[in-house]
Amino acid sequence: MGVLIFFDINGTIIKRDERTDIPYKKALNLLLNVQNSMDGVDTSARSDKDVFTEVLNKHGHSFSEQKWRTFVKLYNEQLELFKDTDVWRENVDAVKIISKLSATEHKLSLITGEFSMGAKYKLEKIGVWKHFPVGGFGEDGFKRFDIAEVALKRVKNLYNDTFDEIYIIGDTLLDIKTARHLGAKVISITTGSNTREELLAEKPDYIIDRFEEIEHLFI
């Protein structure tokens, strides 16, 4: 019994711009020994693993566990190098709402295409990683629905609860579809890769520009 709120990361908690993917891109450049490994690859609303496989294929490589392990090491090094820079910043008033919600009885979790190690660096940078004890991440599945199912299972196991209400907060059409898939309500935020018009066409339960607009639902 209770309320479960899933957050997306990029374009929702973390401000999304051309700099967000720099550490990931650099790791792939190093792995493939090229300059612009990700040119022409749209990462929006996709899992890191899905993107990783597409980039390998584009450069004439196939997926292998060895390449995967090498990449993980390179990516970790890049994340460490960038952790004190400003490539990751808070999206609108995300920190405030997460801090407020963490002081309620509601449970918070993540559904993201981002690998957990990238998620940890990004969210630690803005001080909110500690509020998400469990989530679904890029390594948990190629597609968002798979990641969402893993996340929900983990949350149910952790809290031994089935929840009266589940919400997903995200910036893309895929977050809306994922909410429908889980039978959750969806709060769309207009700060990411889909426009207000595009989001409205999919009829989200709520549409917001800033998180303070939904405070009254939970606090």
* Nearer to Mg ion among residue 56 and residue 186 (C-beta): 186
Q: Phi first, then psi: what are they for 186, rounded to 5°?
A: -130, 135
**CB of 120 vs Mg ion, minimal distance in Å:** 17
Of residues 5-24, those binding Mg ion (CB under 5 A) = 8, 10-11
Closer Cβ to Mg ion, 8 or 21, answer by number: 8
Residue 11 or 118 having the CB closest to Mg ion? 11
Of residues 147 through 186, those in contact with Mg ion by CB under 5 A are 171
Give how many residues touch Mg ion by CB under 5 A: 4
CB of 78 to Mg ion, least distance (A): 21
> How many angstroms from the chain centroid is the CA of residue 127?
16
Instruction: Report in angstroms how near the CB of residue 113 gets to Mg ion at its nearest.
Output: 8
Q: Is 202 in the site for Mg ion (CB under 5 A)?
A: no
How far apart CA 22 and CA 101 sit, in angstroms, is 30
Nearer to Mg ion, 11 or 204 (CB): 11
In whole angstroms, the minimum distance from the beta carbon of 12 to Mg ion comes to: 5
List of residues contacting Mg ion (CB under 5 A):
8, 10-11, 171
